[in-house]
Amino acid sequence: MICTLDLLASPMPCEWLENARIKLISRWQSLPHGILLTGPEMIGKSLLAFDLARIMLCETDQDKSGCGTCSSCQLVEQSVHPDLHVVTSEASGNFLSTHFVRHAERYWLEKKLTSARKPSEQVGVESIRALNQNLAATASRGARKVVIFPKADQLNHNAANALLKLLEEPTRDTFIILVTSSGHRLPATIRSRCIHFSVKGPSSSVVATWLRDEKGVDPETATQLSGAGLGPFVITDLIERGVDGALLEFLESIRGRESVFGEFETLKPFFEALGDEFVLELLQRQFLKQVRRSASAGVLSASDKTIMDRFVEIGEVRESLRTTIDSQLALEDMLIRIQS
């Protein structure tokens, strides 16, 4: 699991979240029922949403940080609070803390029908209908109900329309917190019905210090890992899975080269250790970096054009990996096409 922070810690054990938290909590009582939290990927935005929900639901201390001891706080901690609704895709369960997953399971409706299929990457309209039904009932405990969408950009078209209705005519005392690193993917109609908070990501030096001081990473590795431009919780996940060395090796192998593709067999260990999707994302980032460098120098060459074509090709493969069963075939095919 990626989020290993103590969710009930106050202040939050990373400075970039604590700053955003202070801002949010100082004024939550005057916020409208739709709240949109945006910011870079994997910096802990969902943890902020969860913390805000905990405070909104607390029965005794809603001004500061939640008491941590009332029965509502206890239910949140045990991930069984009936008035806290978490709506996210099944696939994102791999990237969220257990606190979220336990709350989210009640909206994974397809899972109940069959287990022999790929977990869905989207939130469908059925989940929003189920949410509506649950919200229409009286709050089980206190006066409020809180809904969190940890990856709001996963809503499919029909689900987004259904959510829009809910935002237009909310049930009483309901707060809806939408979290995303791709705010532009949300329909403008949804965005316009929310107050927008932008959470700033930490600089690489802040991440390096945090990895060193809080996670016990040796200083040199902390500097190298933080230089990759990844969200701090991506890095801690890689460390926990013991594949941070593979990440550094892979970054080294693609750095500064025009051609980053070898045979499939060369890249296979990286696909296996780091995951297909992640390796492809890193490749795309590297391409983008190269083209940006040329663009800032004012000259885009023919090779930059080729690099952009590759960028688009990889994007298409990333899309197809979400549906295809034979990922090795798709990746081999991509390498052959790009090399030719």
- Greatest alpha-carbon pair distance for the chain in Å reads 66
Which stretch of DSSP H or E encloses residue 148? strand 145-149
Comparison of 109 and 139: residue with beta carbon closer to Zn ion:
139
The tokens for 93 are 């369960």
CA pair distance 100, 108, nearest whole angstrom: 12
The 10 Å Cβ neighbour count of residue 68 is 16
Comparison of 74 and 259: residue with beta carbon closer to Zn ion:
74
CB of 84 to Zn ion, least distance (A): 13
CA pair distance 148, 179, nearest whole angstrom: 8
Comparison of 81 and 310: residue with beta carbon closer to Zn ion:
81
CB of 75 to Zn ion, least distance (A): 10
CB of 59 to Zn ion, least distance (A): 5
Q: What is the DSSP letter of 119?
A: P
CB of 85 to Zn ion, least distance (A): 18
CB of 66 to Zn ion, least distance (A): 5
Comparison of 40 and 142: residue with beta carbon closer to Zn ion:
142
Comparison of 63 and 326: residue with beta carbon closer to Zn ion:
63
Residues that bind Zn ion (CB under 5 A): 58, 66-67, 70, 73
Instruction: Please give the full DSSP string across 31-88, using - where no structure is assigned.
Output: S-SEEEEE-STTSSHHHHHHHHHHHHH-SS-TTTT--S-SHHHHHHHTT--TTEEE--
